[in-house]
Chain A
Amino acid sequence: MSVLAEPPRRIPRPRGVLTPLALLIVAALAAFTMLPSLIAPYDPIALAMSDRLKPPSLEHLFGTDEGGRDIFSRVVHGTRYSLGVAIVIVFFSALFGVIYGAVSGMARGWVDNVLMRIVDLFFGFPALVLALAVAAAMGRGLDSVALSLAVIWWPGYARLVRGEVLRLRERPHVESARALGVSELTILRRHIIPFVTQEVNVRVTTDIGFALVAVTALSFLGLGANSPTPEWGLLIRDSRSYFGSAWWYLVFPGTMIMLTATAFSIIGDALASRRSA
């Protein structure tokens, strides 16, 4: 008891109900993505002008938009676009970043130096603004949104993985494996990749939420999907002209984004607290 100052206490996370709830949301989203037509009661595209801007009811859970389309159906069908693109972005940037970071960390020396300088560059400017510029230059479309965000997203993974690789290779049992003549590739496979994977999984999970917000933001600015694609950011963009009178048009798509992003960040938190050292 020589150090008497308060040790930083372990903070109990409000995990109890939140994690199962988050998993439930993600399960629902998965269903929305795979089988939208089974869940959505209406066609997300076809116009029904007689049902224009109807408030939420049992018939139209989330109300209808200016074309009389069921907003719930549009949101369900939109999952594939918004969340789908977010997942694609995170998956490919993680893939590229992990390889990049692993090469950098395993190579060390000047290769590492050069590679990491390039990564540092990406942390030197406001990345989302750059993504916006790239997307604008490439023209409207979800593909240009995906590419532009992936371009700014991978350096985070490169930095994370390289740091982990450097940390792990210094571990005594890895050093001794190397001394015994185990090849670098085997070391990478046995002693490094399993641990790095844990870290990357946590990051990927949380990032999906952030990527979703970024995708919908660019869509909102008119850089993503074209009407009448039921992409969530675009729904909110379209609702701008009506939301003073049709609150549901604004509320439901936005709530979906919020719920989805929060669910992924809660699961990421849970994964983070469960990983081994």
Chain B
Amino acid sequence: MVTFLLKRLAWGIVVLLAVAVITFFLSRVVPADPAAFLAGQNASEETVQRIRAEHGLDRPLAEQFVSYMVGLAQGDLGESIRTRRSVTADLAQYLPATIELLLVSFLLYVIVSFTLAVQAAKRPGGLVDGTIRLITMVGTGIPVFWLGMTLQFFFFYKLQWLPLGARFPIRDTPPEVVTGFILVDALLMGSLAAFFAALKHLALPAATVVINLLAVGTRLSRAALIEEQGRLYVRTARGKGLGPRRILYKHMLRNALSPILTATTMQFGYMISWIILVEVIFDWPGIGLYAYQSFQVFDYSPVIALALVSTAGFVIINLAMDVLYPIIDPRVQSVGQ
């Protein structure tokens, strides 16, 4: 088991290295003149020269690569031309907002997709199943950015129920930053009003992410549940005189969890991508918006940082799943050994 996890960890590092190589390649080789790229569109030849020297772009490529990797290893992600700060410092500021949105979306996704799947699996092929299927299928076809704007249109412009964007009402003072997660900070401050204000701001962005992913999630959970329904241990449980709720939650759920988790891991990649779009639409001050605003002005280091950070997140999620599997299903452990 331990060797298996170590192998997976090693693989995670390989993935990260690969992304580091790709991003190096992207930043140093793809733009015809990285220095001009870094300097921006209207920079003078002198500035470009200065930047070239400053960033070591006049040195051989191999040497540049080594210093790039050494920098990465030390957490140096370069400098943002737009904010004039180190990208690492910027990330520290923006990352909590992204993670908060991600976690809330994820929670919502799990709850909603599972509830729908249970309803659909009760009568496969029935009316409820068909309706859920149709709704979720259309949900997948909706482009995330358009869905976000449509929700803004209804809930902000028309109904005026929910804010247009941002994490907190502009006029109010946000809770003091302790953890960076505004919901947590609001509670730490003891302000329920601030907590609900923040929750209101979270509602639309999270809903946007979730609606799009729901179809795949519901479909997979439903399939997993239907598959479990046909298993013999379910008959045994009925034979013991257990009721349907107990059979679902105590017996089937944990068995269905492994395939559902696998699907969820795959979904995480999309979730990370959609979060970026959602941050742009809802003016959500996370790393997606940060990267977006940066590449609008040809400031490229934040984009690379975004790719690296989200890959790291993805690798960590995958590792976490690898740890979870044997806990959920004891059979996995003996296979690993």
Selected from B235, B280, B303, the residue in CB contact (under 8 A) with A136 is B303
Interface core residue of A5, A12, A251 (most chain B CB under 10 Å): A5
Write the residues of chain B forming the contact surface with A, with a CB cutoff of 8 angstroms.
11-12, 14-15, 18-19, 22-23, 26-27, 30-31, 124-125, 129-130, 133-134, 137-138, 140-147, 149-150, 153, 156-157, 226-227, 229-232, 234-235, 268-270, 272-273, 276-277, 280, 292, 295-296, 300, 303-304, 306-307, 310-311, 314-315, 318
A119, chain B: closest CB distance, angstroms: 12
Residues of A within 8 A of B318 (CB): 124
Decide if B276 touches A11 in the complex (CB within 8 Å). no
What is the count of residue pairs linking A and B with beta-carbon distances less than 8 angstroms? 166
Decide if A133 touches B23 in the complex (CB within 8 Å). yes
Give residues of chain A (178-223) contacting chain B, Cβ–Cβ below 8 Å: 209, 213, 216-217, 220-223
Decide if A217 touches B153 in the complex (CB within 8 Å). no
Give the dominant DSSP class at B's interface. helix
Contact with B along A4-27 (1 / 0, CB 8 A): 111111111010000000000000
13 contacts between A and B (CB under 8 A): A8-B227, A9-B124, A120-B11, A124-B15, A124-B311, A126-B269, A129-B272, A130-B19, A133-B23, A217-B143, A243-B153, A244-B153, A265-B140
B247, chain A: closest CB distance, angstroms: 12
Q: Does A261 contact B (CB under 8 A)?
A: yes
Residues of B within 8 A of A8 (CB): 124, 226-227, 229-230
Residues of A within 8 A of B310 (CB): 125-126, 129
A247, chain B: closest CB distance, angstroms: 6
| A221-B138 contact, Cβ under 8 Å, with A125-B15, A126-B311, A254-B146 | no
Residues of A within 8 A of B232 (CB): 3, 5
Residues of A within 8 A of B272 (CB): 126, 129
Selected from A137, A247, A258, the residue in CB contact (under 8 A) with B31 is A137
Selected from B14, B137, B143, the residue in CB contact (under 8 A) with A213 is B143
- A160–B141 Cα gap in the complex (Å)? 23
Residues of B within 8 A of A209 (CB): 141
- A265–B133 Cα gap in the complex (Å)? 13
- A141–B232 Cα gap in the complex (Å)? 56
Contact with B along A220-259 (1 / 0, CB 8 A): 1111000000000100100110011001001101100111
- A9–B230 Cα gap in the complex (Å)? 10
Decide if A127 touches B269 in the complex (CB within 8 Å). yes
